[in-house]
Chain A
């Protein structure tokens, strides 16, 4: 490894000295040369940022329905219908230009076409108590079957999907790292028992158990995190254990032991920091897996309860109306796939950057 050692050097204040480049600085320099990984990093950050602030500025909420404005295609012109009621009050309803002809079903076909074409040019059309005119309301991604703004739902859904991805990964990393380190460091019987438990758990049909948990315990948001996190830690535990075993006979650990440090301190201060790269790489690759699992659960109707949205929920809804309104599938699927794509590239890039030897392949 090209990095300098990071053992503490005591230097008097007045002497200026050049910092050795740390493992992470080196890795960052190599990562910067990997265009795809940088692209991935940029995408993940952009999407996360959009999901965080987007829903605040779209002007709609994820649950606000508008039944007359259902299934409006992306960027479609929205027509405003103003109805003057008997007591002179105005009642405003919105229609999408694509579906406006349905309002005039009783008229002959070319008459309908003529009205729609006129409205498309921005002309006004009035009939009885109704006045039709174009409005400046916009739905960038169109609306879903209940007239909810798809852009807002995609961004709010992204919050759920990303937070499930990151939180469940954190949970699985926490369990996996502590389990693997303890097993590897303790060795002997403890190691044997702990790893046999992992083996047995590996043999359990875990997707099945998560599904059971979600059905029996209700579609609880917290449970979703815990259930997925509890499934994904096994591989992490195995990887960390392998690393710890190869580390624990090195001199710095012997030094720590001879200094009389407690086992917990050796584990958390000396061993775990040395496996950080492995943990980070594997965690980056776990996030997409977790997001996929969440989406599968949502697709089976076991994810977050309606009217809340997540990418899995949106894709599931979109798949059912794909013939008539394909954008309801394409747009959330694009966001979902792009995020997975970016995370995978980032994970691969990190792994190459931290293990320069494997990068040559």
Chain B
């Protein structure tokens, strides 16, 4: 167990290094930069800026300097936010994304697992077909369709939630994170419902469930104590890697609801050619993915003794 954690955390180093190297050279290989033509600075000012940010050095020097800095957990200054460092931008934006993501996760799990378990119990009956058709519909209505619909209906028609924005919106009855989280949560709930149903059906057909039934264990205990532990395994192994999808989903949701989260900062930094911020957010995403994969694996081995070897 400890060996797994340590080896995975060590895996972080090559992953972050590869991500940073690829992104670094990719972004530098393109003509143009944060202080080129359209910003209208005089040559002297540009030279000063280049000197200040180290852009006048050779590419290799810049690279070595940057990597050395990252090794000290310093992601450097941001070009667009002159008063904050990349660390500060991430520290400011990530909690916003995290709140939305966590609430979305809870919504997705609550709806998805319930629907999946119900569908598995009432296999091939109306309570199977109904939730599963809804789940399929949920997968096929992407977040960028669901988001605007919810925004217009709850924000403009019912006026109970803000349409967009994050700060200073206490007047609306619903917190600004509700609509983005629901949008994101419903999409993932659909996937989770399908996986739960499949996993539960696999388990419910097994012999130990029949034995439990024969011994007269009540249905409720069979479902909650015996079947769910194994039946939710596919969900857990899905959630880890799919965290990458949650991040890309949050790009869209944060754009639809104009929320100042990490996804928005990343998109803005890419369009602004803010190299340190691009590199910083990308590295941060990579760390998140590795950590969540690890958490998923740990949870899986806690739930399934067979994977503990």
Closest to A202 in B: B241
Smallest CB separation, B275 vs chain A (Å): 11
B142 CB-CB contact with A under 8 Å: yes
A319 at interface, CB cutoff 8 A: yes
Contact A200 to B22, CB < 8 A, known contacts A208-B282, A319-B148: no
| Cβ–Cβ contact A205 & B247, under 8 A | yes
Digitize B136-164: 1 where CB-to-A-CB distance is under 8 Å, 0 elsewhere: 11011110110111001000100000000
Evaluate whether A323 and B152 lie within 8 angstroms (CB atoms) in the complex, with A204-B18, A292-B142, A329-B145 already known. Answer: yes
Q: Mark B24-62, 1 if CB is under 8 A from A, else 0.
A: 001101100000000000000000000000000000000
Chain B neighbourhood of A213, CB < 8 A: 26
Contact, CB under 8 Å: B26 / A216: yes
Report the separation of the CA atoms of residues A209 and B285 in the bound assembly, to the nearest whole angstrom.
11
- Give which listed residue, B11, B156, B267, contacts A211 with CB less than 8 A: B267
Of B14, B156, B245, the most chain A CB neighbours within 10 A belong to: B245
- Contact of A205 with B19 at beta-carbon distance under 8 Å, contacts A215-B271, A345-B136 already known: yes
Distance between B104 CB and nearest chain A CB, rounded to angstroms: 16
A204-B18, A204-B286, A345-B136 are known contacts. Are A295 and B267 too (CB-CB below 8 A)?
no
Question: Which secondary structure dominates chain B's binding surface?
Answer: helix
Task: Please tell me if the beta carbons of A207 and B247 are within 8 angstroms of each other in the complex.
Answer: yes
- B residues 250-298 in Cβ contact with A at 8 Å: 251-252, 255-256, 266-267, 270-271, 278, 281-282, 285-286, 288-290, 293
Residues on A with beta carbons closer than 8 Å to the beta carbon of B5: none
The 0/1 profile, CB within 8 Å of A marked 1, for residues 112-143 of chain B is 00000000000100000000000011011110
Shortest CB distance B262–A (Å): 11
Chain B, range 193-244, C-beta contacts under 8 Å to A? 198, 201-202, 205, 241, 244
Indicate whether B23 reaches chain A with its CB closer than 8 angstroms. yes
CA distance A322 to B27 in the complex (A): 36
A316 close to B (CB within 8 Å): yes
A336:B142 contact, CB within 8 angstroms: yes
Tell me the bound Cα distance from A23 to B117 in angstroms: 33
> A299 within 8 Å of B by Cβ?
yes
A292 — nearest CB in chain B belongs to which residue? B142
Q: How large is the interface on B (under 10, 10 to 19, 20 to 34, 35 or more residues)?
A: 35 or more
What mask results when residues 282 to 308 of chain A are scored 1 for a CB within 8 Å of chain B, else 0?
A: 000000100011011001100000000
Determine chain A's interface SS by DSSP, over half rule. Answer: helix
Residue B84 interfacial (CB < 8 Å): no
| Residues of A315-361 whose CB lies within 8 A of B | 315-316, 319, 322-323, 329, 333, 336-338, 340-341, 344-345, 361
Q: Are A329 and B252 in contact (CB under 8 A)?
A: no
Chain A residues within an 8 Å CB radius of B282 = 205, 208-209, 212
Minimum CB distance partner of A291 in chain B: B142
Residues of B within 8 A of A200 (CB): 11, 14-15, 18
Chain A residues, CB < 8 A from B202? 361
Contact A205 B136 (CB under 8 A): no
The answer, yes or no, to whether A10 is at the interface (CB within 8 Å) is: no
A315 lies within 8 A of B267 (CB): no
Query: Is the CB–CB distance between B30 and A333 below 8 Å?
Result: no
Q: Does B102 contact A (CB under 8 A)?
A: no
**In the complex the two chains form, is A207's CB within 8 Å of B152's CB?**
no
| Distance of A212 Cα from B26 Cα, bound (Å) | 8
CB distance from A62 to the nearest CB of B (A): 21
Please state if B252 and A337 are interface contacts (CB–CB under 8 Å).
no
Question: 1/0 per residue A193-228: CB within 8 Å of B?
Answer: 000000010111111110111011100000000000
Assess the B144–A208 pair: CB atoms within 8 A.
no
Contact status of A296 and B248, CB under 8 A, knowing A203-B289, A204-B286, A322-B152 = yes
Of the residues A209, A319, A361, contact of B256 by C-beta under 8 Å: A319
Structural contact, B144 and A205, CB atoms closer than 8 A: no
A361 and B231 CA atoms in complex are apart in Å by 14
Complex Cα–Cα for A207 and B205 (A): 38
Docked pose: A83 CA to B22 CA in angstroms: 61
- Contact: A316 with B11, CB < 8 Å? no
Contacts of A206 in B (CB 8 A): 244
- CB-CB under 8 A from A211, the residues of chain B are 251, 266-267, 270
Chain B residues with CB under 8 A of A333: 141, 145
Chain B residues with CB under 8 Å of A209's CB are 22-23, 282
Distance of A209 Cα from B27 Cα, bound (Å): 11
Chain B residues within 8 Å of A, Cβ to Cβ: 11, 14-15, 18-19, 22-23, 26-27, 29-30, 123, 136-137, 139-142, 144-145, 147-149, 152, 156, 198, 201-202, 205, 241, 244-245, 247-248, 251-252, 255-256, 266-267, 270-271, 278, 281-282, 285-286, 288-290, 293
* 10 nearest CB pairs, A to B: A207-B248, A205-B285, A319-B148, A340-B140, A337-B140, A341-B140, A333-B145, A216-B30, A299-B144, A361-B201
CB-defined A-B contacts under 8 Å, sample of 8: A203-B15, A205-B19, A207-B251, A212-B23, A299-B255, A319-B148, A336-B142, A341-B140
